[in-house]
Structure 1
């Protein structure tokens, strides 16, 4: 029995029913439907904090999914799991892979920037000021790209860019 069939709460059950209806009516091949089922189960497991199970489902979805846009969201969600577990290098790799599949994914750009900003803070705390500043510059580059794609989002990042002097006037109006 798939994870989504075991859901106990109303929202998960509703999502599962809607997803199953969509899968039945969309003219997609069996492989694409299976990929979506694994992706859906991965999202459900991730929402429940069952990260190992979510990653297994996402990895299976990746083996089946051929659509680059859909692959980008699978990779992005995998990156979220690794980042939440503190494996920032793996998270960065997955976010970059997601962007290779879908260059218009501002949330991946934002998350890359968040990691670089965090690493910059840690470097400065360790007395590595120059390295920390370089990481801050990298964070700024990714936030600027994300903000250009989604100008009404990432307000905290926009404020950080302004207060650190890393903003570019054309993106923050």
Structure 2
């Protein structure tokens, strides 16, 4: 039974019903509809913490989805799962793949920055100041890009950039 038929959550049920209506109305191919179904099931599984199932669905969606914009969100969600499992290198790979298809994905830029910032903090704890500076600078670069795309978001990152003197080259600052 598809995950979309198992949802007990009102919001998930509502989303599923609306998504099914949209799929029936829009002139899309069988593959596109199937890709969206896998994507939707992946999101549902991911929201319930069923990461292995979510990944299976996302990988199936990637096999079928041809639209670069839609593929970018699938790749982004795969990156989210790897990041939440502490597999930061894999997460970075998927975030970057998503950005190659859709450079206007500020949430991917933010998540990349978060990973680099975390690595900077780890380097500080290991007393590797040179590496920490490199990681913090990389985090700053990605946060600046994210903030350019979504200036009202990432307030904590903006504050960090200001307090560390890294708030440069962003319009309005």
Q: TM-score range by the shorter chain?
A: over 0.9
> Gaps spanning 5+ residues in structure 2: where?
none
Pairs aligned (count): 173
Cα distance in 2, alignment partners of residues 152 and 169 from structure 1: 16
**TM-score, normalised relative to structure 2:** 0.98
DSSP-derived class of the 1:122 partner: helix
Work out whether residues 148 and 170 of structure 2, in 8 Å CA contact, stay in contact via their aligned partners in 1.
no
Match of 2:135 in 1: 135
> Gaps spanning 5+ residues in structure 1: where?
none
Matched ranges for 1:24-43 at <5 A: 24-43=24-43
Tell me the CA shift for residue 9 of structure 1. 1.5
For the pair 1:83 / 2:83, whether they are aligned, the reply is yes
Cα distance change, pair 52–170 in 1 and its aligned pair in 2 (3 A) = closer
**TM-score, normalised relative to structure 1:** 0.98
Tell me the CA shift for residue 172 of structure 1. 5.0
For the pair 1:124 / 2:124, whether they are aligned, the reply is yes
Tell me the CA shift for residue 37 of structure 1. 0.1
Cα distance in 2, alignment partners of residues 162 and 18 from structure 1: 42
Match of 2:60 in 1: 60
Cα distance in 1, alignment partners of residues 9 and 61 from structure 2: 24
Cα distance in 2, alignment partners of residues 75 and 169 from structure 1: 29
